[in-house]
Structure 1
Amino acid sequence: MATSVYSDPMDIPGGSDSLERAFNKAHDAVEDAADNRWFEYVSRVGYVMSGLVHAMIGWICLRLGLWGNSGESADQSGALASYAEAPAGAAILIIGGVAMAALSFMYLLDIPFGTVGRAGRKAFDIAKALGKSAVYAALALTALSFGLGGGSESGSAAEEAAAPFLSSMLGRGLVLAVGLAIIAIGVYHAHKGVTRGFRKDLDPAGDHRVSAVIDKTGLVGYVAKGIALGGVGIMVAWAAISADSDKARGMDAAFDEMRSLPAGGILLAAVGIGFMLYGIYSVLRAKYQQM
């Protein structure tokens, strides 16, 4: 068999030009996807599905706070499981999962081609876009899993993920860092709600009634979500400090701990209402979010 005398594609006559043309074609294809109107429409449906998930988590929290344990998990898995049991629930979850996957990809494309790229690719903006992409990708996979007849338990997943790291000081330090990062994200959400920093994300085009709804749902919703994330972060951090993986639980366990506090049922019901309002805010993002 004949052996090529060229060991590197760059050594092939015209190879550099061919690679450059291929790269430019790929770049143009991705940029076209970022600007495609239909891709944007599908991505916006992802906000609707996210809103439905948050609204269901809020409804479960409200019932848990007012009437006690309903047997449902007050987290993403519990919300998606509730939709999976509804008529046409599987179809809703599959459509929503695909839409949230598109939304995840849209946030990735925002880094080189969107507002993040135009803002000079600041490190914080890039990290925020990557974080949002990861969140929607995880939610998309979970929705598709439930839609296709599977499922997952987020609390057990958190415990299993933390357990291997808690046997060493370095691993415990990493888990503690993750917990503190989640707390910081929770503080960021609460701050964004109180300061109404979400206003710059949505553009209702001078519709004062919609603006008023966005203000109320965004304020309460972001604060409620910040409280929930802060609770999860505290539990993860405490798992690192105590070297006990059982404490590294998800949002459902954080809500259980909240309910055990004095007047915890009322607090949990209030957080549930906040999540439901955040669900409304997220649905409004489907139309008014700047993309």
Structure 2
Amino acid sequence: MSTAKNAARAAQDSPAFRVIARIGYVVLGVVHIVIGAIAIPIATGGGGGEADQGGAMEQIRSSPAGVVLLWVIVIGLTALAVWQVAEAFLQRDPDAKRKWGYRIKNVGTAVAYLAIAFTALVFALGGSSDSSDSSTTLSAGLMSSPGGLIVLILVGVVVFAIGVAFVVRGLTRGFEEQLALPGGVARSGIVTFGVVGYVAKGIAVGVAGVLFVVAAFTHDPEKAGGLDAALHALAELPFGSLILWVVAVGLIVYGVFCFARARYARM
């Protein structure tokens, strides 16, 4: 076991692996910028594409060298996911009180990265994916199974909690502990982008969680949806266009923050 751990730690400490993992943050930023850009026409009532990972991958694939970039996304985010898992279980001096919470957070983040990487892989191979259809199918399947409504509500609560965690992490600037930031104006700018980006993403994810709960209570799987459905739901609120504008710009800001994170992440 110790030999396997040492080998895994050596791979984690490899400069090449660190570079690839940092590239993962860059491509994560690209994906969020594209999603934010797709969401802006929704805020203005101009329609637009699917403002989720699938819509972003479709836009990227249609760009020059898009398939190449999709493969870079697959490799970069897979490496970043592996890094997160390694950090969860190979941390050298973990705080015992936070150990399992830290591991759960890192593994959950790794799963999210792998989900985006898988979507990119599907599009790189010529396929397509629709998060709204997937969410509707999942909701319908759960509703038709014994105890499925409870599970669907739990899914919604967990997704909502993740959204709240993003907002809290942004407002408390909890992300700073994972960054080796420079001083001066650069630090202030990066932190500001992080706060805005985390809060905007948390709002979007939280609304997606609420939609799962609404679908369960109304027994209507069509109510459930992914990020795209959440953004459309925001647009339907009072002052929804303004709210969605803020969230869309915030997602773009989060993407730019990911670029800075690629440079300054502690690895």
Structure 1 residue identity aligned to 2:259: V
Superimposed CA distance per residue, residues 195-243 of structure 1 (whole angstroms, 9 cap, x where no aligned partner): 2111112112x33222112121111111111110111000001112222
Q: Report deviation, 1:67.
A: 4.3
- 1:134 alignment partner in structure 2: 111
- Does residue 41 of structure 1 match 2:19? yes
Q: Residues 89 and 103 of structure 2 are in contact (CA less than 8 Å); yes or no, is this contact kept in structure 1?
A: no
Aligned ranges 1:54-93 → 2 under 5 Å: 54-70=32-48, 72-93=49-70
Which amino acid is 1:54 matched to?
Answer: H
Determine the structure 2 residue equivalent to 1:274.
Answer: 250
Is the 1:183–1:229 Cα contact (8 Å) retained in structure 2? yes
Counterparts of 1:98-177 in structure 2, within 5 Å, are 98-114=75-91, 118-120=94-96, 122-168=99-145, 170-177=147-154
Q: Percent identity?
A: 35
Question: Would the aligned equivalents of 1:75 and 1:252 in 2 still touch at CA under 8 Å?
Answer: yes
> Which ranges of structure 1 fall in alignment gaps of 5 or more residues?
1-22
The residue identity in structure 2 corresponding to 1:209 is V
Amino acid aligned to 1:256: H
Query: Residues 32-87 of structure 1, C-alpha deviation per residue, up to 9 Å, x if partnerless?
Result: 111111101101100001000111111111222124202x0011111111011000
**Aligned length, in residue pairs:** 266
1:235 aligns with 2:235: no
Local SS of the residue matching 1:214: helix
Q: TM-score, normalised by structure 1?
A: 0.87
- Judge conservation of contact 1:62–1:270 (CA < 8 Å) in 2: no
Match of 1:252 among 228, 231, 238: 228
Structure 1 CA distance, aligned partners of 2:28 and 2:152?
27
- By how many angstroms is 1:260 displaced? 1.4
Q: Answer with 208-217 or 219-228: which moved more.
A: 208-217
Asked whether the equivalents of residues 63 and 269 of structure 1 are also in contact (C-alpha less than 8 Å), the reply is: no
Q: Is the 8 A contact 1:94 1:148 kept in 2?
A: no
CA distance in 1, matches of 2:88, 2:191: 27
8 Å contact kept, 1:165–1:171: yes
- Residue 118 of structure 1 aligns to a residue in which SS? coil
User: Shift of the alpha carbon at 1:24?
Assistant: 4.3
Q: Could you say which residue in structure 2 is the equivalent of 1:262?
A: 238
**Separation of aligned partners in 2, 1:151 and 1:119:** 42
Shift of 1:26: 2.9
Could you tell me which runs of 5 or more consecutive residues in structure 2 were left unpaired when the two chains were aligned: none
Conservation of the 8 A alpha-carbon contact between 1:34 and 1:113:
no
TM-score normalised over the length of structure 2:
0.95
Contact 1:179 1:234 in 2 (8 A): yes
Counterparts of 1:201-220 in structure 2, within 5 Å, are 201-204=178-181, 206-220=182-196
Partner of 1:11: none
Task: Answer with 1 or 2: which has the greater Rg.
Answer: 1
**1:181 match:** 158
Alignment check: 8 A CA contact 2:153 2:216 kept: yes
Provide the C-alpha distance between the structure 1 equivalents of 2:63 and 2:74, rounded to a whole number of angstroms: 16
By how many angstroms is 1:169 displaced?
5.7
